[in-house]
Every structure is written in structure tokens, then in C-alpha cells.
């Protein structure tokens, strides 16, 4: 395809539409609108026939990579297939046409769906109650930390610090600061898990909580969680679980039963609702009984067989979003839960773990593995083995584009040099996993035989290698005609 803009295809006199003659009297626009709102000259529109417009935008749409086009191996993102039935239910007129200010009596079905979703999430996580008001993972983090702060304030001391392991998600420190706390970093041990001794040395009665991503960003389950809970609870602190990787625990482990006090879910990851491009998302939070009074309001309650939005709890952190979150994302997630059921959700988790470990088995002998131990839903390789050829992880990711793949997450987590973080999810077939593995192994061979080929990639994309530093510092999105 060519890379011309639609304006560059314009030829004077060509038409895409033919409009009928007026069958009503013409009216002077200046009599209907203020002069300030009127154009001083006619809009300059491209002059192209209809088929050129169709071809142009069809070709452009084919350049966009998405989960319906191929595997999306972004580590820590859980880019699984989104069943189309989710979209069917989310587009039902009773949901899409419902006004957010409708009386409770006029939206019983929607309130029942939210109530049932929150009940399902509480059951899956082992928590006492869930609020689905937060609208993103990071928003859930912030809401959870606000709940933690309110809990400690009620006890007479808000405390000062939140501990964050070096294997945590990157949004955690920002959420901590936004909630009014300071961060304390602790290190991972040789197995890629929290260093319990380092935790002991930092845990004091001024620490409000520890934020743990479990499984962590290495794809490793924190097997010392019981010891960690004992240390933190012993000083009156709370355990927060970043649930962005809940796709590796769903149906297998209940965080509320192994020591966690609060967690957030990513409905747009674990429960198969489309994400990317900034949203929409949904980040419900679940809490143990002692934290229930501090959940955001309004809360959906059920009394005498009817559902309503309830406010008025003096301990609540209040509203964290307008109305009640991203409702249609909840519809999609609830559809997913109902379609799979308890056994299906567990099987999905097991398949995610199997897929990750199978793909890892295809790659670990040729790539250098950051931590050589079984993983759950994702794993991290390191590109240090081919640095001697002058090739970086970034170059490998760019070359992968030439093979028709979206690149995996790179340079994260920060504790792994030249990190390559891959999460295949449960919805990919063995054939697709093999195709990705074959592509990566082929690139390794290219690095050995012709490293310049990889360093100059991509070669067959519409846009070649960009000067990323210049693009970040000198952004120019204007085009002059």
C-alpha cells in the first residue's frame, strides 16, 4: 500500500457523493448563526471518489495491530481474547440506554448485575466485600490506599510509610505518594521473591502497609507470603495485593485466605474486557471485614429482594468516581464469569500457566533466563546474552515487528537488565505459541549471522526505525498542505 495522506490523493473535480437539488428554500447562514461561528472561507476537503476513500481507510485499518489480529505477548498486561458475546451483552439497549441518574427503582437489573459481580469477585478472592467503583488498576490502587489510610486514621495514627518490593508494578509508588504516604523499597532475593530479612529490617509501626504484586512481575508466586503477613501484621500493618496478575490465581488461590487484607482487580485484564489505548477499564477493590466500613460509597446493597445505592457511612472514603464506575466494563466481566463458571475460571488459569511454561520451555535454552525456576502466567528473559553483538533488547523487539508480531514488554521489570517480559495468556493455541517462539529463535540466529540486520529493524513496516529520543523531545504532529 502507499503511504499517502487522503489530501495527497485529492484531484480537483473528483467527487465522492452526488447530492440532490434543494427541495426547500435556501436560508442565509448569517441570519441563523453569529458571525464569529461562521467560516471566512470554505472548508478545504479532499476531492476523491468513494472507492478511494474506502480503500484508503481500509488499508489504514489493516496497519493497526490488535488482539483479533494475532498474539499480543505484552508481559503484565494479560491481553487475552475478548469473547464477542461480551460485546453482545454490553450493547443490550437496557444497559446502553440507561441514564446514570435513573432512580434505583428504574434500574434494578443493572444494580443486580453490579451486586452479583461484586459478590462473585468477593468469592473468587476470599474477601468480605468488593466495591467496583474504581475505574482502572491504578485507580484501584489509590482507592485501596485511601481505605488503608482511613483505617489507620480511625485507629489514631495514619502512619507514614508504605513498603514496595522492587518486583512490584510501576504504578505502585505513584499511588502511594498520591495517598499521602512515603515509599520504602525492599529487595528481591536470589529466587526473585521478597527478601524476608530485608522486610524485617524496614517493618516498623510507622509502616501502614506493604504493596505486593502476586505473582510478581517475574511471574513468580511469593511463596513466603505467610511469613510476610506475620511480620507486617505483627506491627499493625496491612497487606495490599496488586491484583493485576490475578489471571494466574483465579480459581486456584484466594488472597483473602492467605493473609492479604485488600486487593484490586483489573476487570479489563483478568475478566476479558477490551483494554488498551487508555481505557476504559475497571479496578474494583476487595477488603477483609475490618476494612468494609471504609469502602467507597455509594455501595450497592440488597434489602427485601430489591437493590439500591446506599450512602451515609461516616467511615467511608466517599465517592472515588462519578456515578458508579465504568458500568459496561462490568457487564462484560460479569458475562465472562457466568459463561465460564467456577470450573471454567480455574481451567482458564491453569491454561495460562501451562501456556507460559510451554513457551518458556521453547526459549530458555537459547535465551538467558532472569530467574531459572517455574513460573506462573508470564516470564522474563534477558537480552544480555547477545549484547556482545551490539544488539539490544529494543532491536530484537523492533525486528519482531517484521515477522508480524506485536513486541513483548521490554525493559521491565527494572530489576532485570535488558528485560523481555512475555505473557501469552490462556487463549493462545500451541500453534500460535510455536509461531512466536520460532520467530524469536530465528531472530537469535540472525543476531549471530548478521547483527546489523536486527539493529536496523524494522524493515517492512510503513514507518522505519524512529529517532525515539527526538520524537519524545521534539514532537511535531502537524502536517502542512
- Domains of the chain are 1-63 (no CATH), 84-340 (3.40.640.10), 348-471 (3.90.1150.10)
Q: In DSSP terms, which residues pair with 420 in a beta bridge? A: 381, 410
* Beta strand ranges found along 149-259 (DSSP E): 161-165, 182-186, 207-213, 238-243
Dump pLDDT digits (tens) for 86-101: 999 999 999 999 998 9
Is the pLDDT assigned to residue 479 strictly greater than 60? no
The three-state secondary structure class of 265 is strand
Torsional class of 377: left (φ above 0), alpha (ψ -120 to 50), beta (otherwise): alpha
Q: What is the dihedral angle through the alpha carbons of 383, 386, 391, 392, rounded to the nearest 10 degrees?
A: 10
Contact 328, 96 (CB under 8 A): yes
Residues above pLDDT 70, as percent of the chain: 98
Is the pLDDT assigned to residue 481 strictly greater than 50? no
**Model pLDDT, residue 278:** 63
DSSP label at residue 74: B
Is the pLDDT assigned to residue 170 strictly greater than 90? no
Torsional class of 195: left (φ above 0), alpha (ψ -120 to 50), beta (otherwise): beta
Contact 221, 190 (CB under 8 A): no
Q: What is the mean pLDDT of residues 369-380?
A: 89
For the whole prediction, is pTM greater than 0.75?
A: yes
Nearest to 212 by CA among 263, 284, 268: 263
**Model pLDDT, residue 478:** 60
Contact 335, 86 (CB under 8 A): yes
Query: Average pLDDT of the chain?
Result: 93
Measured CA to CA, the distance from residue 438 to residue 436 in angstroms comes to: 5
**Model pLDDT, residue 67:** 87
The three-state secondary structure class of 306 is strand
Looking from the CA of 449 toward its CB, the CA atoms found within 13 Å total 6
* Beta strand ranges found along 147-197 (DSSP E): 161-165, 182-186
Q: What is the mean pLDDT of residues 438-454?
A: 97
**Model pLDDT, residue 433:** 98
Is the pLDDT assigned to residue 42 strictly greater than 70? yes
Q: What is the mean pLDDT of residues 165-170?
A: 90
472 vs 390, more confident: 390
Contact 276, 256 (CB under 8 A): no
Locus of grid cell 524485617: 200
Measured CA to CA, the distance from residue 247 to residue 353 in angstroms comes to: 9
Dump pLDDT digits (tens) for 295-325: 999 999 999 999 999 999 999 999 999 888 8
Measured CA to CA, the distance from residue 398 to residue 405 in angstroms comes to: 10
Locus of grid cell 503484565: 76
Dump pLDDT digits (tens) for 388-407: 899 999 999 999 999 999 99
Nearest to 72 by CA among 80, 61, 82, 60: 80
Helices (H) and strands (E) in the chain, counts: 14, 13
Is the pLDDT assigned to residue 371 strictly greater than 80? yes
Measured CA to CA, the distance from residue 97 to residue 328 in angstroms comes to: 11
Dump pLDDT digits (tens) for 277-289: 666 899 999 999 9
**Model pLDDT, residue 320:** 96
Q: Would you place residue 456 in the very low, low, confident or very high pLDDT band (cuts 50, 70, 90)?
A: very high
Is the pLDDT assigned to residue 480 strictly greater than 60? no
Is the pLDDT assigned to residue 25 strictly greater than 60? yes
Amino acid at each position: 500500500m502507499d503511504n499517502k495522506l487522503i489530501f495527497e490523493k485529492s484531484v480537483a473535480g473528483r467527487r465522492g457523493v452526488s447530492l440532490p437539488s434543494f427541495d426547500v428554500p435556501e436560508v442565509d447562514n448569517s441570519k441563523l448563526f453569529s458571525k464569529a461561528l461562521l467560516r471566512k472561507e470554505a472548508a478545504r476537503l479532499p476531492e476523491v471518489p468513494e472507492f478511494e476513500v474506502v480503500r484508503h481507510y481500509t488499508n489504514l485499518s489493516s496497519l493497526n495491530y490488535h488482539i483479533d489480529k494475532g498474539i499480543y505477548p505484552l508481559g503484565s498486561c494479560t491481553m487475552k481474547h475478548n469473547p464477542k458475546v461480551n460485546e453482545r451483552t454490553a450493547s443490550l439497549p437496557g444497559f446502553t440506554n440507561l441514564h446514570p441518574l435513573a432512580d434505583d427503582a428504574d434500574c434494578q437489573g443493572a444494580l443486580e448485575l453490579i451486586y452479583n459481580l461484586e459478590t462473585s469477585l468477593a468469592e473468587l478472592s476470599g474477601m468480605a466485600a468488593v466495591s467496583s467503583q474504581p475505574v482502572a488498576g491504578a485507580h484501584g490502587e489509590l482507592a485501596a490506599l485511601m481505605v488503608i489510610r482511613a483505617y489507620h486514621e480511625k485507629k489514631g495514627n495514619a502512619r507514614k510509610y508504605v513498603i514496595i518490593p522492587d518486583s512490584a508494578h510501576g504504578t505502585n509508588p505513584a499511588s502511594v505518594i498520591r495517598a499521602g504516604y512515603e515509599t520504602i523499597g525492599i529487595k528481591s532475593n536470589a529466587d526473585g521473591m521478597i527478601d524476608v530479612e530485608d522486610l524485617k529490617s524496614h517493618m516498623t509501626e510507622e509502616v501502614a502497609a506493604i504493596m505486593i504484586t502476586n505473582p510478581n512481575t517475574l511471574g513468580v508466586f511469593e511463596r513466603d507470603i505467610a511469613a510476610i503477613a506475620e511480620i507486617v501484621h505483627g506491627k499493625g500493618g496491612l497487606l495490599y495485593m496488586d491484583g493485576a496478575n490475578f489471571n494466574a490465581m483465579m480459581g486456584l488461590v484466594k488472597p483473602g485466605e492467605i493473609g492479604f487484607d485488600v486487593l484490586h482487580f483489573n476487570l479489563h485484564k483478568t475478566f476479558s474486557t477490551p483494554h488498551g489505548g487508555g481505557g476504559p477499564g475497571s479496578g474494583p477493590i476487595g477488603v477483609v471485614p475490618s476494612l468494609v466500613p471504609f469502602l467507597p460509597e455509594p455501595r450497592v446493597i440488597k434489602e427485601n429482594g430489591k437493590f439500591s445505592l446506599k450512602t451515609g457511612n461516616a467511615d467511608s472514603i466517599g465517592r472515588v468516581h462519578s456515578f458508579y464506575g465504568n458500568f459496561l466494563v462490568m457487564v462484560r466481566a460479569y458475562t465472562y464469569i457466568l459463561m465460564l463458571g467456577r470450573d471454567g475460571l480455574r481451567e482458564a488459569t491453569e491454561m495460562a500457566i501451562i501456556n507460559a511454561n510451554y513457551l518458556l520451555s521453547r526459549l530458555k535454552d537459547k535465551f538467558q533466563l532472569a530467574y531459572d525456576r517455574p513460573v506462573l502466567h508470564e516470564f522474563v528473559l534477558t537480552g544480555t546474552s547477545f549484547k556482545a553483538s551490539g544488539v539490544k533488547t529494543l532491536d530484537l523487539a523492533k525486528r519482531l515487528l517484521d515477522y508480524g508480531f506485536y513486541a513483548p514488554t521490554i525493559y521491565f521489570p527494572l530489576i532485570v537488565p535488558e528485560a523481555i517480559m512475555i505473557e501469552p495468556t490462556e487463549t493462545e493455541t500451541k500453534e500460535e505459541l510455536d509461531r512466536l517462539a520460532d520467530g524469536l529463535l530465528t531472530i537469535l540466529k540472525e543476531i549471530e549471522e548478521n547483527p546489523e540486520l536486527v539493529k536496523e529493524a524494522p524493515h517492512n513496516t510503513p514507518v522505519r526505525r524512529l529517532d525515539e529520543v527526538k520524537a519524545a523531545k521534539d514532537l511535531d504532529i502537524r502536517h502542512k498542505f
